[in-house]
Amino acid sequence: MEKKTNSAEKILLNYYQKERKRQKSTLNLIASENYPSKKVLFYSGSLLMNKYAEGYPNARYYQGCQNIDKIEELTIDLAKKLFGVEYANVQPHSGSQANQAVYLALLKSGDKILSLNLLAGGHLTHGAKVNFSGTFYQIHYYNLNPLTQKLDYEEISKIAQEVKPKLIVTGYSAYSLKIDFAKFRQIADRVGAYLLADIAHTAGLVAASLFPNPVNYADVITFTTHKTLRGPRGAVILAKKELGPKIDKAVFPGNQGGPNPAIIAAKAQCFLEALQPEFKEYQKQVLKNAKAMADYFQNKRVKVISGSTETHLLLIDTKNSYNLTGKEAAERLEKIDIICNKNMLPYDKEKPWITSGIRLGSPALTTRSLGKKEFQLIAEVIDSTLRNHYDTNKKEAKDKIRYLIKKFF
């Protein structure tokens, strides 16, 4: 028995070390990933996780919560300061649970939600049939304009007036342009709907005032803390003060049990870092780097969805540009140590595990200090690797990647 335990321990450690090595020897272009600071990692895995603290500060179901109360209060204050809001709940374990709690707080089962079609950049929790959101609520979709692949506010308004949803969802996982939250507010007001802005992807850009802030327009805002925000794996809900009690109740006891105080402390550390001037400089570079890739592809006549990027990510139509499905393109890139994800495109006819494109993001490699020149080089390597030059150029491409890894990691 003991021998078995030892060998399982070895296997576990071995795969941890292999994953560590993989992260240090590949170029990460996954738009939703990042590398948090040592302090964020410290709190995330700290002894704070030993404490049960069901409830909220000064109203817990367990004794011994005096320090956790202060940590949670501090985290809430920092979230409110960073985003300029009246109310924050810092307990959601994930973006999915944050959205689940918002629906629970504002809707009844069977109520109508209007959101962006998943193919066009929405999220699973915005109404996918296979998700709780598509099971318990009546979902209606708006889509991107088929020609421009941009949000079409007139069309969204028309659909909203036909559908009369109780909730409209904006904020996306794979849309590369700015969002006009004021227009969404007008659309929601016309039909008496709540407006949810899910800014999981752009939270870091919003915190740095480099992307429109939905605070004065949305009733509720959700975001994860581990993407552009570069914090721990978790989520936050922001709202107008009057919705606070309903949302608190929906998070606990409605949707979660005990919060994880270790992750809450790590969120506080993340917000502290995001309030520093260096964070704004980092986010500026995130935008420049994504734009450098998009410009390179555009110059090579590669089809970039929505025409460009104003965020940390871009989508490439690999089917039309290289005659490769997203799956084939992503797998080919992995062979030269570039990691990205296959992604559905607006009106995609392929299955979700095949897709017609890939999504590329700049946050993780910008944290590693790569700049515009390096991102142009990465775009060049991607372009040449996907252009049937794969076999002949494989060594050259790998050498370029190795050069970047050696210089920056």
Q: Which residues are catalytic?
A: 52, 54, 198, 224, 227, 233
The label of the residue with tokens 């690797």 reads 385
* Nearer to ligand DSN among residue 32 and residue 97 (C-beta): 32
What is the nearest approach in angstroms of ligand DSN to the Cβ of residue 173? 4
Residue 95 near ligand DSN by CB under 6 A: yes
Binders of ligand DSN among 158-177, rule CB under 6 A? 173
What is the nearest approach in angstroms of ligand DSN to the Cβ of residue 80? 24
What is the nearest approach in angstroms of ligand DSN to the Cβ of residue 117? 14
* Nearer to ligand DSN among residue 115 and residue 173 (C-beta): 173
* Nearer to ligand DSN among residue 193 and residue 263 (C-beta): 263
Binders of ligand DSN among 220-239, rule CB under 6 A? none
Q: Residue 184 burial by CB count (10 A; 0-12/13-18/19+): exposed, middle or buried?
A: buried
What is the nearest approach in angstroms of ligand DSN to the Cβ of residue 288? 21
* Nearer to ligand DSN among residue 94 and residue 308 (C-beta): 94
* Nearer to ligand DSN among residue 157 and residue 222 (C-beta): 222
Residue sitting closest to ligand DSN (CB): 32
* Nearer to ligand DSN among residue 87 and residue 103 (C-beta): 103
* Nearer to ligand DSN among residue 74 and residue 229 (C-beta): 229
Binders of ligand DSN among 121-160, rule CB under 6 A? 123
Cβ contact 165:140 at 8 Å:
yes
* Residue 232: both structure tokens together: 């721990």
Candidate list 27, 28, 29, 32; residue touching ligand DSN; CB under 6 A: 32
Question: Could you tell me the CA-to-CA distances from 120 to 123, 146, 173, 357 in Å, in that order?
Answer: 9, 10, 9, 12
Question: Total residues at the site for ligand DSN (CB under 6 A)?
Answer: 4
* Nearer to ligand DSN among residue 157 and residue 355 (C-beta): 355
What is the nearest approach in angstroms of ligand DSN to the Cβ of residue 44? 18
Interaction mask 330-369, ligand DSN, x per CB under 6 A: ----------------------------------------
What is the nearest approach in angstroms of ligand DSN to the Cβ of residue 242? 29
CA angle 145, 148, 150 (to 5 degrees): 60
What is the nearest approach in angstroms of ligand DSN to the Cβ of residue 95? 6
Binders of ligand DSN among 172-211, rule CB under 6 A? 173
Count Cα atoms within 13 angstroms, Cβ side, for 42. 6
What is the nearest approach in angstroms of ligand DSN to the Cβ of residue 202? 11
Count Cα atoms within 13 angstroms, Cβ side, for 74. 16
Contact residues for ligand DSN, defined by CB under 6 A: 32, 95, 123, 173
